[in-house]
Structure 1
Amino acid sequence: MEEKRPKARREYKDTVFRMLFSDEKNLLSLYNAVTGRSYEDAKELEIVTLDNAVYMGMKNDLAFLLDLHISLYEHQSTKNPNMPLRDLFYISLEYQKYVSDKSLYSSALLKIPAPVFIVFYNGAEDMEERTELRLSQAYEHFEGEPNLELKVRVLNINAGHNAELMEQCRMLKEYAQYVARVRGYTASMKLEEAVRRAIKECIAEGILADFLRKNRAEVEMVSILEYDKEYEEKKLRKAEYEAGEQEGLNRGLAQGIVETGCAYGVSKKEILERLQERLNISCQTAQEYFARYSGKKIS
């Protein structure tokens, strides 16, 4: 009989990273590796990831309380400069829950746990070992010190990176090995086959063996969804880049046609016709280019 597989995940699709580190012992090990602490009792850690902390279909991976801090851990397989803004939304929801039974009108200062934001990156694109993203980088026309800042530390957890961190957290190291194996096999076989082969080999070699045995069917399904999504996002970014590149070429050519035409006294009608013919654009777009580069109003 065909193996029964879990039904597709709810609205939010899980990731192997989140499945692995939703386990409190694994998460405590990761926390110790990141902070240099040596906590041993997983009961000291309280996972507070909110089920409703969703923004545009994106959900914070892990949030937990420990050592008077609230840590928000996020896994990313693509570069995302908007993580500070996303984390701002997430932490706002966390704080709302944290003070839900307290009065913000109290004369006493409400104490809240200090936030820590970390992204674990394992995408195929090159990235530094460690980098920092800031909310203020998104501000337009910004000068001086920001009145609102949020810093996100990004750690590259691809195999071969951040070796010390990997050695401190065995689960993270083995997770990176599993990911590298899946990616390597997708170059020569179908995604489904690559995932199944990676799982089989990792179990045989003792890489995430217990976790994969226990959750084999779900890991297989989640991995296929995860890496298929990653592939689609790559195609989308490539298409966006090519569209932007073409737009830049069109603008440069349009500017040359308009400025040259105006300099030699060519009529507006002829310039518009030349724009439409050379760039294969509509009359309206041609008029917009003319207005932009001639400095004259459209009549």
Structure 2
Amino acid sequence: MSKKANRLYKSRLFVMIFEDKEKLLELYNAVNKSDYQDPGLLEINTLENAIYMSMKNDLSFLIDARLSLYEHQSTYSPNLPLRFLFYLSDLYSGMTRDANLYGTKKVQIPPPRFIVFYNGEGEQPDRRIMKLSDLYTVAEEEHKLELEVLMLNINAGHNSELLKVCQTLGEYAAYTDRVRRYAKELPIEAAVERAITECIREGILKDFLEKNRREAMQMSIYEYDEERHIRQEREDAWEDGRQEGEKIGLEKGRQESRQRIVKNMLKQKKSEEEIALLIGEPEETIRELIEQISSEVPEGDAD
């Protein structure tokens, strides 16, 4: 299956688990320290527009007149607030499609809350607040538009109370951790198969994995490959940048060295022709170096 087809086909394992209203309500209660008991209170309204597939939010839902947007991430990105802004704008647009936005009556909208559940390999704190204003090109005392995203680390050793209160989230974290650990020593297909078999035997996501074993395996393999692909792209980009930086650095070093030599020879009253002969450069190059030196020296310090 091609990468493009995969992108349209796949549904996140996180979404598949928590689109069950009972599981989602369990997660909501754990995050908000609430005690709602009726899953029927939840109104899931995640967009399915394929145009937004590459940046769409995992789960968005209404409860108690509040809009919650939940997303799972295995890679940290400081751009999450901007992505949530785009998504929220589209959600609000859909919610108010039939409203008169030019009328005198207020068009009410539910207040949003943005949460990311992170289980990547990179080190992150238990909780991290990411702000849209962190992405602004100009720092201001008061921002006219702000959006805050709460990122919760669900890796082993982080937010243990949350993972305990929401058993399903804890089991999801345990399962994905096993897949990642086993993939370090086994082909990914074998690693996922081992993780699923063990988790079913030990009662970790047992009902879900028994019922959806094939889909869970396909999603886990895809998500691991995608995570590895993103990580490899970042490493390649870093290496390309490092090599380019070294090249630029060497050239800059040579240029600065030539400027210092020319500057010293000018102090010794050497002519352009003499300097060119001494350092083996064309007179045109020497003239350019002298012009650069002159432009860098403050007026009155040229001597």
**Deviation per CA, 1:59-85, whole angstroms, max 9, x where unpaired?**
210000012210110100001111000
Asked if the contact 1:12/1:59 (under 8 Å) is kept, the reply is: no
State the partner residue of 1:65: 62
The amino acid across from 2:211 in the alignment is: K
After superposition, the Cα gap between the structure-2 partners of 1:62 and 1:257, relative to the gap in structure 1 and judged at 3 Å, is: same
The answer to whether structure 1 residue 128 and structure 2 residue 125 are counterparts is: yes
Matching of residues 186-225 of structure 1 within 5 Å: 186-225=183-222
**Aligned match of 1:143:** 140
Distance 1:294 1:97 in 2: 61
Choose from 32, 37, 41 the match for 1:40.
37
Following superposition, the deviation at residue 248 of structure 1 comes to 2.6
Distance 1:62 1:77 in 2: 16
Q: Distance in 2 between matches of 1:140 and 1:13?
A: 35
Query: Considering only aligned residues, what root-mean-square deviation do their CA atoms show, in Å?
Result: 2.4
The aligned runs of 1:1-299 (5 Å cut-off) are: 11=8, 13-52=10-49, 54-55=51-52, 57-265=54-262, 270=281
Cα displacement (A) at 1:247: 2.6
How many Å apart are 1:154 and its aligned residue?
0.2
Deviation readout 1:119-158 (Å, 9 max, x if unpaired): 0000011110000111111111322211111100000011
Q: CA 1:94/1:270 → structure 2, altered by over 3 Å: closer, same or farther?
A: farther
Following superposition, the deviation at residue 109 of structure 1 comes to 1.4
| TM-score (normalised: structure 2) | 0.84
Partners in 2 of 1:113 and 1:24 — Cα distance?
A: 20
Name the larger-Rg structure. Answer: 2
TM-score normalised to structure 1 length: 0.85
Q: For the structure 1 residues 262 and 43, does the alpha-carbon distance in structure 2 shift closer, same or farther, using more than 3 Å as the test? A: same
- SS at structure 2 position matched to 1:32: helix
The amino acid of 2:100's aligned partner reads S
Question: Offset at 1:56?
Answer: 6.9
Residue type at the aligned position of 1:112: I
Residue 269 of structure 2 corresponds to none
What SS class does the counterpart of residue 108 from structure 2 fall into? Answer: coil
CA distance, structure 1, for counterparts of residue 248 and residue 293 of structure 2? 13
Structure number with higher relative contact order (C-alpha < 8 Å, ≥ 6 residues apart): 1
Report if the CA contact (8 A) 1:63-1:71 is conserved: yes
SS in 2 for 1:264: helix
| Secondary structure, aligned partner of 1:154 | strand
Residue identity opposite 2:42 in structure 1: L
CA distance in 1, matches of 2:139, 2:293: 31
Question: Residues 253 and 213 of structure 1: is their aligned pair in 2 closer, same or farther, counting only changes over 3 Å?
Answer: same
Cα displacement string for residues 1-46 of structure 1 (whole angstroms, at most 9, x for unaligned residues): xxxxxxx756152211111011111000000000000001000010
The DSSP-based 3-state class of the residue aligned with 2:8 is coil
After the TM superposition, which of the residue ranges 234-243 and 188-197 deviates more from structure 2? 234-243
Identity %: 49
Per-residue CA deviations over 1:203-251 (Å, capped at 9, x if unaligned) read: 0110000000110000000100000110111111111112222233223
Output the CA distance in 1 between the equivalents of 2:165 and 2:98.
38
Query: Hey, what's the Cα distance between the residues in 2 that align with 1:25 and 1:149?
Result: 32
Q: Report what 2:271 is aligned to.
A: none
| d(CA) in 2 for partners of 1:71, 1:269 | 69
Whether contact under 8 Å (1:259, 1:294) holds in the other structure is no
Aligned length: 271
